[in-house]
Amino acid sequence: VVDEVKWQALYGAYPLQSTVYEHETVFRARTYATTGALSVKSRKINFDLQRMLPTYKNGAMTTELYPTSSFADALVSMALDVKIGRRTIDEIDLENIYRTYNDVVDYFGTPLAAEFCTTIDDTNLSFEELVTNLCDAVFCTAYRQNNKLKLYFERPTDNSVMLFNFRNIIPDSYKHDLTFGVMDDYDGLIYEYTDPTDDSRINIYLPDKGAKNPKEVKSVGVRNKWQAHFNAYRLWNKLRFQRKSITFDAAPESELLVLRDRIAVADYRNGIHQSGEVVQQEGLILTLSHDVDFIAGKSYVIYLQMGDGTVDLIPVTPGSAKNKVVLGRLPNGALKLSPDDFVNTIYTVVNDDT
């Protein structure tokens, strides 16, 4: 005798020891025993949620959790996670990271540009790869300085961080290239991001869908159209307008630079090197290591590499000797003129045609 029993409803229950678990998200779902639901062999549930993370207030991270889509909160949380970043709070420059967040919001005029919204479910990704994905979404570059994690926001600036001339460029390593057309022969861009309404992947085509060899970029963590368009047009404009490239080997002080820092480089194509080191300063008068040729009717400026890692731009006029110039104002800081200094103040003089 065989009795066949079909269950219409079968439930299992186990009393929870707690309704809240530290560092864990509990999701409860009810699935009705419909024909379609019963036919699924491996059940998966997709849903949208907002992170609950500590944030930065009054110079420290809070102990309370707040709903957030901020990339700064996500980065700090990943860095401090014992399984992901394994960093300590002393290895994170909190002030720099949250100042960078505010800079992104202020520059684009919306906090949507500073969001990072994604699920990290790939255990094979390293912390460095996760940080790179996050930074790519919010126009930043991560770097480590003085054993602290920091961010650099890529945006227009008139200030160069370092000046390079023949004093800190290795001889015979300078190369200047000019290209025509679009970089790498890309005639378009396809930027893919996630639609927040239905989680579908949407493509942005630049300049239009007619490109024959477009560059394809699949974004991570971008879930709003504003952030997606900001990223897409930035990448497309880099392809369109990057025409010149300069490569050279530099002296050890170049290690102070961060990727994407703006630098000033003396142009050696005409064979005239109006650059060198500052030998002496007497008020507004500088004595230079090399002569400077001034052409009547042209305006000149001098770029000075300052000791604080900035480049000062000052108008100059001829002095009493060919290796002397008169500054239009005093430099923003003290010049490095002693032989004991690690790097002496270097200069480049250019005219209004350069």
Confidence of residue 235 (pLDDT cuts 50, 70, 90): very high
User: How far is Cα 242 from Cα 326, in angstroms, rounded to an integer?
Assistant: 36
pLDDT reported for residue 4 = 85
109 touches 39 (CB < 8 A) = no
Least confident of 30-34, 189-193, 227-231: 30-34
Asked if 285 and 215 sit in the same domain, the reply is: no
Mean pLDDT of 253-271: 80
Question: Is residue 103 included in any domain, yes or no?
Answer: yes
pLDDT reported for residue 99 = 98
CB-CB neighbours of 38 under 10 Å: 9
Last residue of a domain, one of 242, 265, 282: 242
Confidence of residue 60 (pLDDT cuts 50, 70, 90): very high
pLDDT reading at 127 higher than 70: yes
Asked if 149 and 57 sit in the same domain, the reply is: yes
pLDDT reading at 10 higher than 80: no
User: How far is Cα 62 from Cα 52, in angstroms, rounded to an integer?
Assistant: 12
pLDDT reading at 326 higher than 70: yes
pLDDT reported for residue 105 = 98
Give the range of the structural domain holding residue 286, as residue numbers without chain letter. Answer: 252-351
Asked if 206 and 273 sit in the same domain, the reply is: no
Question: Is residue 45 included in any domain, yes or no?
Answer: no
CA 247, 213, 200: angle at the middle one, nearest 5?
110
pLDDT reported for residue 274 = 83
Question: Is residue 142 included in any domain, yes or no?
Answer: yes
349 touches 292 (CB < 8 A) = yes
Question: Is residue 299 included in any domain, yes or no?
Answer: yes
Predicted TM-score (pTM) of this structure:
0.75
Beta strand pairing status for 263-265 and 162-164? parallel
pLDDT reported for residue 208 = 92
Question: Is residue 223 included in any domain, yes or no?
Answer: yes
Residues 207-232 pLDDT 10s? 999 899 999 999 999 999 999 999 99
Confidence of residue 183 (pLDDT cuts 50, 70, 90): low
Mean pLDDT of 177-200: 86
Last residue of a domain, one of 242, 268, 293: 242
Question: Is residue 247 included in any domain, yes or no?
Answer: no
- Percent of the chain scored above 90 by pLDDT? 49
pLDDT reading at 66 higher than 60: yes
pLDDT reported for residue 268 = 66
Question: Is residue 312 included in any domain, yes or no?
Answer: yes
3-state secondary structure of 77: helix
Asked if 59 and 138 sit in the same domain, the reply is: yes
CA trace torsion 29, 34, 39, 40 (10° rounding): -10
Question: Is residue 19 included in any domain, yes or no?
Answer: no
Q: Which residues pair with 285 in a beta bridge?
A: 282, 326
pLDDT reported for residue 219 = 96
| Residues 6+ away with beta carbon under 8 Å from 226 | 108, 110, 112, 113
Residue 24's nearest CA partner among 91, 95, 76, 83 is: 83
pLDDT reported for residue 160 = 85
Query: Which comes out higher in pLDDT, residue 103 or 120?
Result: 103
Asked if 234 and 262 sit in the same domain, the reply is: no
Asked if 57 and 139 sit in the same domain, the reply is: yes
Q: How does the average pLDDT of the chain come out, rounded?
A: 88
Asked if 232 and 265 sit in the same domain, the reply is: no
User: How far is Cα 151 from Cα 116, in angstroms, rounded to an integer?
Assistant: 15
**Number of domains observed in the structure of the chain:** 3
* Backbone torsions φ then ψ of 287, nearest 5 degrees: -100, 125
Last residue of a domain, one of 199, 217, 242: 242
Mean pLDDT of 308-337: 90
Beta-sheet strands, E only, within the chain:
51-53, 56-57, 60-61, 66-68, 140-145, 148-153, 162-164, 175-178, 188-194, 201-206, 214-218, 244-247, 263-265, 275-282, 285-288, 300-305, 311-318, 324-327, 346-351
Asked if 66 and 91 sit in the same domain, the reply is: yes
Confidence of residue 38 (pLDDT cuts 50, 70, 90): confident
